[in-house]
Structures are given as C-alpha cells and as structure tokens.
Amino acid sequence: MSELMVRREVVPQLDGGPQVSKEPNLLCACNRKVISDPMVRFENVTKRYGALTVLDGLNLDIARNEKVSIIGPSGSGKTTVLRMLMTLERIDEGAIWVDGEPLTHMRKNDRLVPAAGRHLRRVRGKIGMVFQHFNLFPHMTAVQNCMEAPISVLGLSKQAAEARAVELLEMVGLGDKKNHYPIQLSGGQKQRVAIARALAMRPKVMLFDEVTSALDPELVGEVLNVIRKLGAEHDLTMLMVTHQMGFAKEFSDRVCFFYGGKIAEQGTPEQLFGSPQNERTRQFLSAVLQAG
C-alpha cells in the first residue's frame, strides 16, 4: 500500500484559477511515496511561465514533523515549490493540501473555486518561510520585526507579541541584539532574526529557501545550528531547499533530487547520497561534492 498514490478527479478550471481536484476517490499503483495523513501534499501540481514548464505534475507527500531537503541544479523548480506553498506563486494545475485542508482551492456553493479570504489566510497561516535574502524590515529593530505580524495578523497585544519576540530572539542567540536594526547586524544574525520572525507566527510548517547561500562562509554554521535546534526541539514539518549537501545528509529524514521540474529521485540521505540510482543524480552529486 505504501507504493500507492491517491488519484483525484480533476474538475474544470474555475474563475480564472487552476484546475483543482476533488476529494480522493481511487487508489492506483504509482512510483510515489504516499503518506497517511500528510502535513503537506502536492497533487499533480504544474507551474508554467509562458512556454516554460517549471514544475511538471509534481506529486509529493511530506509527513508531520518530517524534515525534507530539496536539492538539484538551478532551474529545476526547487524554490518554486516553496513559493507555491507560501502562495507567492499561483499553480496552473493540481492542488496543494496543508494539514488536511486545501491550500489552493475551497468549496463555495457546492463548487470548487480558488482559495481566498479567511480560508486562504487560515491555511497559509500554518506555514512560515525564511528567505535567502532575509527580507527584514529595515526601519524596524530585531524585536519589532518579530512583533509586527503577530500584532497585525494574529491580533496579539503589544505586550504579548514583545514577550514572544524576545523569547524567540533569545532562542536563536540574539537576545542581546533585540534593539538592533538590520543594518547593525551581520548576515548570519539577520538570518537568525528572520527565523525568529517566522516562528513568531507559530507555524506548523517551516520553509527554508537556500538560507545560507547569501552568507559569508564563516557565518553559515551559526544559521545551520539554529535549524538543527529547531528540528531537535520543536514539532515542526521542515522543507528546505539547500546547496549544503553535508547538512542535508546529516539533518534530513528524506532528500528529494529535482531535475526538469520533477522529482528524479528521492530517498533517505543514506540511500540518495550513498547509492543514487538515477544517472542525473549521480552526475549532480559528483559535480557538487567535487566542487565542495
């Protein structure tokens, strides 16, 4: 049964939105790892930019509290996966589910329509994302960056939001920098503030988009140590796009190699790094590990 996937009945495109799917109604054999009650599910997801297909019928289940790393060459669709989960990109076909609820569509008057309004905000609120270039508000201090969304989105009082922000900054080792502005922080410190800011919304899913690629080499370790701590001490589903092969091997429960908008190979770190079955995976790992 573990090698079966859920086939969803595709319904016509509605109101300018993507083709979406009805509830699961049939099982069929497929080379896909299906997880019972996944935290995240991509179901036949396709994303195009004009004539370019960036993701081609992606099927991916991620278990609750699972740590998954996505690796692959540039242009293979890795970051697009994260951006669609954050609804920063709109899918063209398929459906995405988070914590048992559809992220990409909802029912309205017995029809399936693109997700919007309260439904979208509620489901999207279960996800936090840390970006490659920090994306901190430059006119706010570290603690203010972590307070803004809990106050404006969750409706927390200023006092409660500040207490939570200080707690998180201390957790990432920046309690003494809470009143510093981003310009006063190193790249690694900015990224740790960004992690604290994402956690302030109490997400169930955390996304990391090449969070060390913009850092000086000597600052990479401090950010990876925070991510290690999150994985060890918190009940979080974590999905990470990374070029840090050693960290992906050490940290992940599963590694997915993307190529040409699809998952070319996936498995445990031991399987994928130790005995890759796909020729393109072998070529990629050989090139990356030699360069490293």
User: In terms of pLDDT, which residue wins out, 29 or 118?
Assistant: 118
185 and 214 together in one domain: no
Give the residue-averaged pLDDT of 155-159. 97
92 and 221 together in one domain: yes
241 belongs to a structural domain: yes
257 and 284 together in one domain: yes
pLDDT of residue 219: 93
**Residue 149: DSSP 8-state:** H
131 belongs to a structural domain: no
Give the residue-averaged pLDDT of 203-217. 94
195 and 231 together in one domain: no
275 belongs to a structural domain: yes
Cα distances (angstroms) measured from residue 286 to each of 108, 254, 262 = 50, 19, 20
Nearest in space to 83 (alpha carbons), one of 103, 102, 101, 106: 103
pLDDT of residue 26: 27
pLDDT of residue 110: 84
Domain assignment of residue 145, given as a range? 136-202
181 belongs to a structural domain: yes
CATH assignment at residue 250:
3.40.50.300
User: In terms of pLDDT, which residue wins out, 2 or 54?
Assistant: 54
Give the residue-averaged pLDDT of 212-220. 91
147 and 286 together in one domain: no
120 and 30 together in one domain: yes
Provide the residue type at 153 as one letter: V
Give the residue-averaged pLDDT of 198-222. 95
pLDDT of residue 112: 86
Its pTM stands at 0.87
144 belongs to a structural domain: yes
Average pLDDT, the chain: 89
102 and 165 together in one domain: no
152 and 282 together in one domain: no
Query: Within 13 Å and on the Cβ side, how many CA atoms surround 189?
Result: 18
- Range 125-151 burial, b when 16+ CB lie within 10 A, else e: bbbbbbbbebebeeeebbbbbbbbbbb
> What is the domain count for the chain?
2
224 and 110 together in one domain: yes
**Which of the listed residues 167, 182, 202 is the one where a domain comes to its end?**
202
pLDDT digits (tens, 9 = 90+) for 166-181: 999 999 999 999 999 9
| Listed range (89-103, 109-123, 230-244) with the worst mean pLDDT | 109-123
Give the length of the chain.
Answer: 292
| Listed range (20-34, 52-66, 157-171, 239-253) with the worst mean pLDDT | 20-34
102 and 212 together in one domain: yes
**Which of the listed residues 186, 202, 218 is the one where a domain comes to its end?**
202
Give the residue-averaged pLDDT of 33-43. 91
Residues 6+ apart with CB under 8 A from 168: 146, 196, 197, 199, 200
92 and 194 together in one domain: no
pLDDT digits (tens, 9 = 90+) for 52-109: 999 999 999 999 999 999 999 999 999 999 999 999 999 999 999 999 999 999 988 8
Query: Where are the alpha helices (H) located in the chain, listed in sequence order?
Result: 78-85, 117-124, 142-152, 158-171, 187-199, 220-233, 245-251, 269-274, 279-291
pLDDT of residue 19: 55
pLDDT of residue 164: 98
258 belongs to a structural domain: yes
User: In terms of pLDDT, which residue wins out, 17 or 31?
Assistant: 17
57 and 140 together in one domain: no
Per 3-state DSSP, the chain is made up of helix, strand and coil in percentages (nearest 5) of 35, 25, 40
pLDDT of residue 6: 34
**Which of the listed residues 179, 202, 225 is the one where a domain comes to its end?**
202
At 32, is the pLDDT very low, low, confident or very high (cuts 50, 70, 90)? low
